[in-house]
Each structure stands twice: as C-alpha cells, then as structure tokens.
Amino acid sequence: MSVVQVQDAVGTPGRFARHTWADAARLPADRVLGGLAYGVADDDVSLPDWLAPVPAAALLSDDRAHADVWPAAGRVREGRTGSIRWRHDGQHLFGAVEFEEDGRGLEVLAHRAYRDLFSTLADTGYAHLMRLWNYLPRINEDGGGLERYRQFNAGRQQAFIDAGQAAFEGAPAACALGFHGEGLLLRFMAGRTVPVAIENPRQVPAWRYPADYGPRAPTFSRAAVVRTASDAAHLFVSGTASIVGHATVHEGDLDAQIDETLRNLEAVFAESRRSGVAFSLADSEPVVYVRHPAQAAAVRHRLAQALGPQSRFMRQAVYLHADICRSDLLVEIETHLHASGLPGVTATDGSVAEERA
Ligand code: 3EB
C-alpha cells in the first residue's frame, strides 16, 4: 500500500474512526495509536494487541462487530507500567489493563487500578486524562454492605485525589458499565494538554451527586473537548442516561428513558458548541448500552425516529449488552465525533467562544 492508501484506511490522526473488527485487524500497527473492539468474538478474527476488547455482547450486529481506532499522529512507542499496557504517539497515550478481583473488595481494587493508571501518566508525561472506559462485573450487586458500583466510585475518587488529578470540576469524560465477565477493565486516553470539560445544565455534575448515590461521587464530566487545531476538535461524550438533576426519571418506561437521554445528549452538545466547534449529535458515532437484549430492537427503532434512519448516528451505532450503573436505568448512550469551526465563530484556544445567532 502507498502512504496515501494507508492514510485513507487508517483515518486521520486526532480522531476516532469506526471500522469493522476485520478491517481494524488489518491496519498497520505502526500507524495506529490504539482502539477499542466492541463485542464478544463470534468468529475467528484474532485481535491485534493494540486493540483493547470491550467484552460486552454486540446486539443487532448484522455482520461483524465494530472497533474505534485512533490513528497515530507520529512514531508510536509502546510499553508497560506494572500491568498497564500503553502506546503513545507524541500527542496522546492509549492505555488498557485488566485487574483480577482479589477478595479485598472493589474499593481497594479501583484505588489500586487508578493509582497504577496515574503512575503510567507520570512515567510517560501524558498527564491529562481525556476519556476513560470502565467495565466491571455485577455492577449493581451488593459488595458487602455497599453496591459494587459505589465501592468502585469510592476507590476511584480517592485515587484521583491522591494523585492530585481533577476529581471534581474538570474530571475526564467516562463511562462505567457492568459486563458479563470477570475482572475490572480500564481503557483510557490521555494527552499533554488539558481538555475542556463540559457539564450538562439539565443535570447535577456527577462529581456533586448527593450521598444517596453512595458515600463518594462518581468521577467524570459529561463530555471532554480535545482541540486538534485552532478551529477543530474531538468531542468525547460520557455515558448519558435518563437522569435529570441527580434523579433517575421514567423508571420502567423504555421509550421515555430514551427520549430523556436524547434531551441530555442534545444539552451536552449545545454546551460543547460553545467551544466554537460545530458538534452535531446526528453526525456522531454512538455506543448504545442496553440492559435487556430483548429491548435492543425497540431502542434502535426509537433512536431512528428521533435521529433519522439515514443519520450517521444510526448507520454507525454499536449496541452492546451491559448493565447500567443504576439498577433503574435501562439504556445508556456514549458518543464521539470530530468537527471543525462553526460558521461566523472565531474559536479561541480551548476557551469558550460565544455562539452567534
Ligand atoms: C450517570 O449519568 C450515568 O461512573 O464513570 C455515566 C458515565 C455513568 C460515567 C462513571 C457513570 C459513569 O450517572 C452513569
């Protein structure tokens, strides 16, 4: 392949590109930083080691599961810090790790996992977390007096504080899902510049959730904007669900939960456009986590009504079977995209540019 052909196949640096697993597996390893492969293997595609599995069963996938791949911006170096494997390209770092549960509980395990993660960032010089993916089994089960997700939150927040990382305002974008496997799985991206954290005016910041949801709040922002040029950026939108203020709404009503989730996503996108970049929900590439596989088709149907069946969102959507971190939530949607400046807006570097009418 010529350089141009490889570039076309791999995608543009500074943004995710969504491929089928088979296509992702064929990309030249020295041209990619890292990526996530969604769905449990149901064929013989063996994943390259730069591609971190998200081992939740893919739903509604007519053919093959998908992967999000981040093309390398430069020469890739790879290594390990403790059990964490990482690759970096001069601009960003992609990391992945799996921890076995050792019987001391998820609070201890999450604290250790995040302590190791922050050691990786300190050792490599990629100090600023942009996006985290957290997967843990039996997320809604009791872990000995406290729900396992709440134990995880306690260890995570303490590790952020211990490392001097933004545990409250300015926390990275993230998701935390229950998967049907074993161990605590983390995947993460970090960079050398501070991302712009986005909150949702319809929701209490997660890092300020009251103690009804656990002794320590979750550590994430609703989205993160990573600038790739003065007028272009990548948007990572955290897992988003049917929560208004801090309360779950529409318990037991799938369609209403989806509609509320979309209102939350639209609100996060409106906030993110204040950065001067034309982010649009319908153009983004989501991962849709569904608690009950039997409801997946109904979820897709409702989303298609709202976003249009031909939208990029619908054509690229990945559906995964996972438990959401509150037992009353049926669906959670995360998404991302890359975009350039809004017409008529002069973006300033990382700060908020006013959107003109
Ligand atoms: C919520 O809004 C739904 O603990 O890292 C979404 C995204 C959720 C990230 C996390 C949890 C997390 O609270 C749950």
Atom index in ligand 1 nearest the CA of residue 203 equals 2
Number of neighbours of residue 236 by Cβ within 10 angstroms: 25
What pLDDT sits at residue 322? 97
pLDDT band at 134 (very low <50, low <70, confident <90, very high): very high
Q: Is the CB of 220 under 6 A from ligand 1?
A: yes
State how beta strands 17-20 and 66-71 pair.
antiparallel
Tell me if 226 sits within 8 A of 93, measured CB to CB.
no
Cα-to-centroid distance, 353 and ligand 1 (Å): 27
Q: Is the CB of 155 under 6 A from ligand 1?
A: no
* Residue 357 scores a pLDDT above 50: no
Cα-to-centroid distance, 174 and ligand 1 (Å): 7
What pLDDT sits at residue 356? 37
More confident residue, 135 or 65: 135
What 8-state DSSP symbol labels residue 197?
A: E
Amino acid at 339: A
- Give backbone dihedrals phi and psi of 124, rounded to 5 degrees, phi first: -95, -20
DSSP 96-153: EEEE---SS-HHHHHHHHHHHHHHHHHHHT--EEEEEEEEEETTTSBSSSSBHHHHHH
What pLDDT sits at residue 62? 64
What pLDDT sits at residue 250? 98
Atom index in ligand 1 nearest the CA of residue 153 equals 4
At 316 the three-state DSSP class reads helix
Segment 119-138 shows an average pLDDT of 97
Q: Is the CB of 189 under 6 A from ligand 1?
A: no
Atom index in ligand 1 nearest the CA of residue 325 equals 14
Tell me if 34 sits within 8 A of 87, measured CB to CB.
yes
At 213 the three-state DSSP class reads helix
Residue 71 corresponds to which tokens in the numbers above?
A: 């093309």
Q: Is the CB of 243 under 6 A from ligand 1?
A: yes
Residue range 291-327, pLDDT digits in tens: 999 999 999 999 999 999 999 999 999 999 999 999 9
Atom index in ligand 1 nearest the CA of residue 238 equals 7
Mutate to test the pocket of ligand 1, among 184, 287, 325 (most ligand atoms within 8 A of CB): 325
Annotated active-site residue 78? The verdict is no
What pLDDT sits at residue 5? 58
Give CA–CA dist 340/253, Å, rounded: 37
What pLDDT sits at residue 350? 44
Residue range 211-258, pLDDT digits in tens: 999 999 999 999 999 998 888 999 999 999 999 999 999 999 999 999
What 8-state DSSP symbol labels residue 310?
A: T
Segment 169-181 shows an average pLDDT of 97
Give CA–CA dist 166/157, Å, rounded: 9
Percentage, residues of the chain above pLDDT 90: 85
Cα-to-centroid distance, 345 and ligand 1 (Å): 32
Residue range 100-114, pLDDT digits in tens: 999 999 999 999 999
* Residue 274 scores a pLDDT above 90: yes
Q: What's the length of the chain? A: 357
Cα-to-centroid distance, 149 and ligand 1 (Å): 10
The phi-psi region of residue 232 (left if phi > 0; otherwise alpha if psi is between -120 and 50; otherwise beta) is beta
What pLDDT sits at residue 112? 97
Choosing from 251, 332, 354, 355, the catalytic residue is 332
What pLDDT sits at residue 12? 84
Cα-to-centroid distance, 286 and ligand 1 (Å): 15
State how beta strands 285-290 and 331-340 pair.
antiparallel
Q: Residue 5 belongs to what H/E stretch?
A: helix 3-10
Mutate to test the pocket of ligand 1, among 185, 238, 250, 288 (most ligand atoms within 8 A of CB): 238
Q: Is the CB of 134 under 6 A from ligand 1?
A: yes
Cα-to-centroid distance, 333 and ligand 1 (Å): 10
Q: Is the CB of 265 under 6 A from ligand 1?
A: no
Residue 121 corresponds to which tokens in the numbers above?
A: 């960032």
Mutate to test the pocket of ligand 1, among 129, 134, 220, 246 (most ligand atoms within 8 A of CB): 220
Q: Which residue has the tokens 């590439």?
A: 285
Atom index in ligand 1 nearest the CA of residue 132 equals 5
Residue range 11-68, pLDDT digits in tens: 888 899 999 988 999 999 999 999 999 997 555 567 899 999 999 999 998 666 899 9
Cα-to-centroid distance, 176 and ligand 1 (Å): 6
How does the average pLDDT of the chain come out, rounded? 92
Q: If we measure between CA atoms, which residue out of 157, 168, 226, 159 comes closest to residue 199?
A: 168
Residue 102 corresponds to which tokens in the numbers above?
A: 């050792």
Amino acid at 38: Y
- Give backbone dihedrals phi and psi of 10, rounded to 5 degrees, phi first: -80, -40
Q: Is the CB of 303 under 6 A from ligand 1?
A: no
